[in-house]
Amino acid sequence: MTLMKTFRRLAAASAIALTISGAAQAAEEVTIGFTGPLSGGAALYGENTLEGLKMAAKDINDAGGFKVDGETYTINLVSLDDKYSPSQAAVNGKRLVQQYKSPVIFTPHSGGTFALQAFNERDGFIVMSYTSVPAVTAKGNKLTVKIPPNFTDYIEPFSKITMERFGKKLAVANATHDYAKYWTKEFVPAWEKLGGEVVSNNAMDYNKSADFYTGVSKALSANPDVMFIGGASEPTGLVARQARELGFKGGFILMDQAKIDEVAKVSGGIESLEGSVGVVPLADYDTKGATQFVEKYKKDHKNVATSETAYNYFALHLIAQAMQEAGSVDDAAKIRAAIPAALNKLPGEFNPYDVHEISAQGDLNADPQIAEVKDGKVVLHRMSELKK
Amino acid sequence: MDLFFQQVLNGLTLGSIYGLVALGLTLVYGILHVPNFAHGALYMVGAYISYFVMVDMGLNYWVAMIAAAGVVALISVLCERLIFHPLRHAPPIHDKIAAIGVMLFLEAVVQMHWGADFRRMPTPYTSILHFGDITLPAQRLLIIVAAFSLMGLLHLYLKKTMTGSTIVAMAQNREGAFLVGINANRVAMMTFAIAGGLAAVAASLFAPINLVYPAMGHLLLTKAFVIIILGGMGSIPGAIIGALIIGFAEALGGFYISGTYKDLIAFALLVFILSVKPTGLFTKGVR
């Protein structure tokens, strides 16, 4: 009786095993890796970036996959949580390469990117880095692609707009994490070069402060015309709100991590951000691809689409296109070399930001837009126009 | 001078919130004899319940606060009954592990249900009072007044009522309390309920000037730990004074010394006080 049972179980188990392996043979899969913060304070940001990848993978798989060399491939997205920690990102990266044979790994932070760059050329995978820190591509890593524009591109136009409107005295009151420090380091000399003066330099830990009244009142005691603030959108909104409560009448320069529309939700409406400059919220972007993406996002989501979702959505479509151009799903160098050709062929609906070229170093370039809050409305400027 | 008073007000606001959270932590310490790591998560759940009642159900702010206090007190009592009570004969490390488990569980449940996004809770008190150059939004005034009245009430309750005295007795000497016939189960449940309720009220008071998100309890919990170590584990006046010390250190230190190092100032103060008085400010030989 027990023997019979064992046999039956064995038969069932082998039947299941056969079906699984059979299914795997029918459609080839290419595994795309992701390591980013999926828990802890940056969980929302990590999930937003991952959501873009998920949407692109769904697009591709629903269309029946893509053809490389006569074989049809679908995308298998494997996401691992690194809690924003570079060392955990490196561990995840190793796992994605060794266990899942992933030829491409996405990561939404500079720390993770640097950690993966320690072994990506040797292990043969592309790092798709969603960070606007220029250093990730400046080091000459051949298999790194930086998805968003360099943050340094924003500095001059941001400074000029606010300096002309409000005055030359600047208070620095942004966050203290690495990315914010990069910004301050580049921003302060640029502001001074344009003839401005930094009257107060009082960065605050946006993630570990229970309250910003102290820091903001310190920044305001120097009577600045413009405040440079920013970290994650919501704490930035709190800082802006408290600055207004404490009587600040000037303009804000928002570090690009903060999105004007999300900041406004916390700070008390767009009127409270009068005179602010920042990056353009995706919903206000006036390219065709952006409008299509926002519509598409609305169908399955309750909240509003963010730029990190849109950029990562674009980036995975780009990789799939590049694999087709390269005729390979596992040779990272070939895939990287095929990206310029893939950019030309990628349909506009997958490219919300009109990214049009990739530099030899691996920077994807677009013509970003800049938002200014004027008379309670968001006004758009094109970077290329401001530079003239 | 105005700037100085502005910082004093900031320090008071912070100190009041820290105080309410630290009081709960110190009360429960009297029962568990280990810090309750889940206390920050209870605070966070309190904020979410208020948010839910106020924003999603559209009820009054005060109703939301009372509902949050009730729900969190209940969760806190359930934790005691289902988790800490069965562990009462186990080594203290088991309590610690269980508390961390409760914390992770509550955070995961909240994140699953509400997601990881930052939420903003509105307040009915949006006016901003000005005294010369000093700015005091009504909500901040409310925090200070409400927190100190609650602390006062708690003090009266513990000192003047019989049930209150049993809590103090349990915290001071467990065996002694049993000997005089105190019902340990009842006292433990009551203590957990009060601690949970205080955390939820603190969260409902603070949420309108801050943000509501699943990890919001971590920061408060670390501060509350520092405070009860500073004030002396299990000491009620210690928790209040400790909270004010940390609140003022952050506000004044952050303003006059350095905003970047304001936490450092608070911790340096902790090191200094502990090296002068290693058991904390107000310990009276309680474990």
Q: Which domains does chain A carry?
A: 10-150+288-365 (3.40.50.2300), 152-282+369-387 (3.40.50.2300)
> B4 in a domain, yes or no?
no
Give A105's DSSP letter. E
- pLDDT band (50, 70, 90) for residue A7: low
Q: Quick one: pLDDT at residue B174? A: 79
From the list A41, A213, A233, which residue is nearest B10 (CB)?
A: A213
Smallest CA–CA distance, residue B143 to chain A, in Å, is 13
Q: What is the mean pLDDT of residues A11-26?
A: 50
> Is B83 part of a structural domain of the chain?
yes
What spatial distance separates the first Cα and last Cα of chain B, rounded to whole Å? 43
Does the interface ipTM go beyond 0.95?
Answer: no
Q: Is residue B278 part of a domain?
A: no
Closest-CA residue of chain A to B253: A214
Residue B205 lies in a domain: yes
Q: Span B229-257, mean pLDDT?
A: 88
What's the confidence (pLDDT) of residue A21?
Answer: 47
Identity of the residue numbered A53: L
Write out pLDDT tens, residues A113-165: 999 999 999 999 999 999 988 889 998 999 999 999 888 888 999 999 999 99
pLDDT exceeds cutoff 80 at B169:
yes
A104 pLDDT band, cuts 50/70/90, is very high
Rg, Å, chain B Cα set: 19
* Tokens at A21, concatenated: 């392996």
Contacts with B217 from chain A: Cβ below 8 Å: none
**CB distance B116–A47 less than 8 Å?**
yes
Pick A127 or A20 by higher pLDDT. A127
Average pLDDT over residues B63-71: 96
Check the CA dihedral A138-A141-A142-A144 and report its sign.
negative
Q: Let me know if residue B108 belongs to a domain.
A: yes
Is B250 close to A245, i.e. CB distance below 8 A? no
CA dist., res. A270 & res. A266, Å (int)? 10
Query: Cα–Cα distance between A166 and A155 in angstroms, integer?
Result: 16
Q: Do B254 and A215 touch (CB under 8 A)?
A: yes
Place of tokens 């007000």: B9
Written as six digits, the tokens of B107 are 């955070």
C-alpha dihedral, B117 to B121 to B122 to B127, nearest 10°: -110
- Domain ranges, residue B73: 20-221
Query: What residue has token string 């079906």?
Result: A19
Q: Is residue B248 part of a domain?
A: no
Give dist(CA A312, CA A299) in Å, integer.
18
CA distances (Å), origin B12, targets A197, A210, A216, A227, B142: 34, 13, 17, 26, 11
What integer pLDDT is reported at residue A125 of this predicted model?
Answer: 96
DSSP letter (8 states) at residue A284: G
Chain A residues within 8 A (CB-CB) of chain B? 39-41, 43-44, 47, 176, 202-205, 208, 210-211, 213-215, 217-218, 221, 232-235, 237-238, 245-247, 265-266, 303
Residues A244, A270 contacting (CB under 8 angstroms): no
Q: Residue A236: name the closest of A272, A190, A284 by CA.
A: A272
Contact yes or no for B116 and A303 at CB 8 A: no
What's the rounded Cα separation, in Å, for the pair A88 and A35? 9
Considering only CB atoms, B260 lies closest to which of A203, A246, A303, namely: A203
* Record: contact A211-B10, CB cut-off 8 A: yes
Taking a C-beta distance cutoff of 8 angstroms, is the pair B12, B144 a contact? yes
- Domain membership of residue B61 (yes or no) is yes
SS3 assignment for chain B: CHHHHHHHHHHHHHHHHHHHHHHHHHHHHHHHCCCCCCHHHHHHHHHHHHHHHHHHCCCCHHHHHHHHHHHHHHHHHHHHHHHHCCCCCCCHHHHHHHHHHHHHHHHHHHHHHHCCCCECCCCCCCCEEEECCEEEEHHHHHHHHHHHHHHHHHHHHHHHCHHHHHHHHHHHCHHHHHHCCCCHHHHHHHHHHHHHHHHHHHHHHHHHHCCECCCHHHHHHHHHHHHHHHHCCCCHHHHHHHHHHHHHHHHHHHHHCCCCCHHHHHHHHHHHHHHHCCCCCCCCCCC
B33 or B223: which leads in pLDDT = B223
The alpha-carbon gap from B178 to the nearest alpha carbon of chain A, in Å, equals 41
> Chains A, B: CB contacts under 8 A, how many?
82
pLDDT, tens only, A204-263: 888 777 788 888 988 998 899 999 998 888 889 999 999 998 889 999 999 988 888 889
Instruction: Indicate whether A22 pLDDT > 70.
Output: no
Q: Count of CB atoms within 10 A of residue B121's CB?
A: 22
Q: What is the mean pLDDT of residues A163-182?
A: 90
- State whether A245 and B135 contact (CB < 8 Å): yes
Task: Tally the domains of chain B.
Answer: 1
A19-28, A313-322, A333-342, B78-87: segment of lowest average pLDDT: A19-28
Whether residue B153 is contained in a domain is answered as: yes
**Is pTM beyond 0.95 here?**
no
What CA–CA distances, in Å, run from A282 to A109, A215, A352, A353, B254?
Answer: 20, 31, 9, 9, 36
| Chain A residue with the nearest C-alpha to that of B212 | A234
pLDDT at A18: 47
Q: At what angle do helices B61-79 and B39-51 cross, to 10 degrees?
A: 150
